[in-house]
C-alpha cells in the first residue's frame, strides 16, 4: 500500500504539533517524557521535529497524558494556527 504524500497544510500542522509538544516538555528530558508516554525517544524526537507529522492517535493521547495536556486544546491550537498560515511555534 502506497501512502499518499502529505499536503503542505498537513506538514505544517505536524510541525506545529511538534513545537507544542516540545514546549510542553520544557526542561524534562526527551527520554523521561518518552518513557512516561510509553513511546521511544526516537518517536518523540521525530514528532517534535515534524518528521512524523501524523503520529498515531494513541501516541498523541499518551503524550498528552504524560505532559498533562488537553487533547482538545492540542487539536484546536494546531488546526487554528495551521489554518491561519502561521509559522511553527519556536521551542
| pLDDT string in tens for the chain (91-residue length) | 787 888 888 888 888 899 999 999 999 999 999 999 999 999 999 999 988 988 999 999 999 999 999 999 888 887 776 566 555 444 4
Contacts of residue 45, defined as CB under 8 A and 6 or more positions apart, other chains included, come to 30, 51
State the pLDDT at residue 81: 66
What is the set of domains in the chain, with CATH numbers? 8-84 (1.10.260.40)
Q: What's the pTM value of the predicted model, to 2 decimals? A: 0.80
Please answer whether residues 50 and 15 qualify as being in contact, where contact means their C-beta atoms are separated by less than 8 angstroms.
yes
State the pLDDT at residue 2: 81
Residue 32 to residue 16: CA distance in whole angstroms: 22
Amino acid at each position: 500500500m502506497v501512502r499518499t504524500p502529505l499536503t503542505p497544510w498537513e506538514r505544517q500542522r505536524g510541525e506545529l504539533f511538534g513545537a507544542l509538544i516540545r514546549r510542553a516538555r520544557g526542561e524534562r528530558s526527551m527520554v523521561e517524557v518518552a518513557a512516561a508516554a510509553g513511546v521511544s525517544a526516537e518517536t518523540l524526537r521525530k514528532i517534535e521535529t515534524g518528521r512524523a507529522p501524523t503520529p498515531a492517535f494513541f501516541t498523541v493521547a499518551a503524550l498528552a497524558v504524560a505532559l498533562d495536556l488537553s487533547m482538545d486544546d492540542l487539536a484546536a491550537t494546531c488546526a487554528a494556527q495551521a489554518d491561519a498560515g502561521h509559522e511553527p511555534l519556536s521551542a
